[in-house]
Each structure stands twice: as structure tokens, then as C-alpha cells.
């Protein structure tokens, strides 16, 4: 799969610029949204769901899966080369993901597998937002209405 890059400065902007809205859901960060891309060039179709600024490398978090595989993986770039876990929350669902960081070029964290039908993934799809903590920094990632549709399409695409 293609590696996605993230701007650490962009993640800091998200942290500083995000303000919470009603019921604990974060506000949408200006310029950011969840976007889904399908790669049809591989033997098995795969998809990426990324929280990003369109047409930039500013991407604090991405999820990937193969169609119907019911396995989702999270990845982030640009954090500490010693990163071994991230924490995700959406509503009352929380998930701690362990993984490994490849530090050859820019540090690139890849998580362990997340079941496509897990309580966290279902909450994320229903809520349209999540909160990620990595290296002690917290980033809120809320979707616009179009981003919520991308999340739903991605979860459906990944389902086994």
C-alpha cells in the first residue's frame, strides 16, 4: 500500500484550532475532512480513509483495508520513531492500538489489526468523528456531511 505523509505542523494546528461542540463531539477543523480512495490496481481492491487537507500531505491519520477483509489498519507519519501505540476514542468507545514504527525515512507508524465490525469502528461510523492521542498530543478529527459519507462507505467496503 502507498504510504501517506503527514505534516506535524498541521497536526499541531488541529490541536490548537479545534474547539469542542455540543455533547463532547469536536468541531470540524477548517480545511480537514475524511476522504476515501479506492486502489483498483492491486489484485484485491484496497481502500484508504484519511483525515486530510485535500491535495496536500497534511494527514494526521489514515485507515486502510482490503475490500471485504473485515480488517482495518491505522497509520500515521511524522511522529516519534519510538511510537509503539496510539489511543483512539469516539463517543464512549475507546481503543488502544499497538504497532510498529518504521523510521528509515520519516517515522511511519502502522497499527495492529482492527476488526471491521468492532465497537470502536461502529461508533466512529455512527459519530463521524474520533479523537487520537499519540506521543502525548491529542488531535480531534470531525467530519463534514461529505466526510461522514466517506466514513460509512469505507466501513461498508471493509466489512467481511
Counting Cβ atoms within 10 Å, is residue 29 exposed (0-12), middle (13-18) or buried (19+)?
A: buried
Longest dimension (CA), the chain: 44
From 80, 83, 62, 81, select the one nearest 72 (Cα to Cα).
Answer: 62
pTM (predicted TM-score): 0.83
Task: Give me 63's grid cell.
Answer: 485507515
Q: Write the pLDDT tens digit of every residue in 33-82.
A: 999 999 877 667 999 999 999 888 889 999 999 999 999 999 999 888 99
Go through the domains of the chain in sequence order and give each one's CATH number: 8-158 (2.60.40)
Q: Write the pLDDT tens digit of every residue in 99-138.
A: 999 988 889 999 999 999 999 999 999 999 999 999 999 9
Amino acid at each position: 500500500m502507498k504510504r501517506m505523509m503527514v505534516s506535524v505542523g498541521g497536526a499541531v494546528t488541529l490541536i490548537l484550532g479545534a474547539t469542542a461542540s455540543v455533547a463532547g463531539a469536536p468541531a470540524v477543523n477548517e480545511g480537514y475532512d475524511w476522504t476515501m480512495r479506492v486502489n483498483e490496481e492491486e489484485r484485491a481492491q484496497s481502500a484508504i480513509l484519511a483525515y486530510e487537507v485535500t491535495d496536500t500531505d497534511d494527514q494526521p491519520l489514515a485507515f486502510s483495508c482490503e475490500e471485504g477483509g473485515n480488517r482495518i489498519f491505522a497509520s500515521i507519519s511524522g511522529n516519534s520513531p519510538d511510537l509503539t501505540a496510539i489511543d483512539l476514542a469516539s463517543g464512549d468507545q475507546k481503543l488502544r492500538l499497538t504497532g510498529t514504527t518504521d523510521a528509515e525515512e520519516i517515522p511511519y507508524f502502522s497499527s495492529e489489526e482492527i476488526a471491521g465490525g468492532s465497537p470502536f469502528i461502529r461508533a466512529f461510523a455512527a459519530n463521524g468523528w474520533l479523537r487520537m492521542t499519540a506521543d502525548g498530543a491529542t488531535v480531534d478529527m470531525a467530519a463534514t456531511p461529505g466526510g461522514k459519507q466517506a466514513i460509512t462507505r469505507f466501513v461498508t467496503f471493509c466489512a467481511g
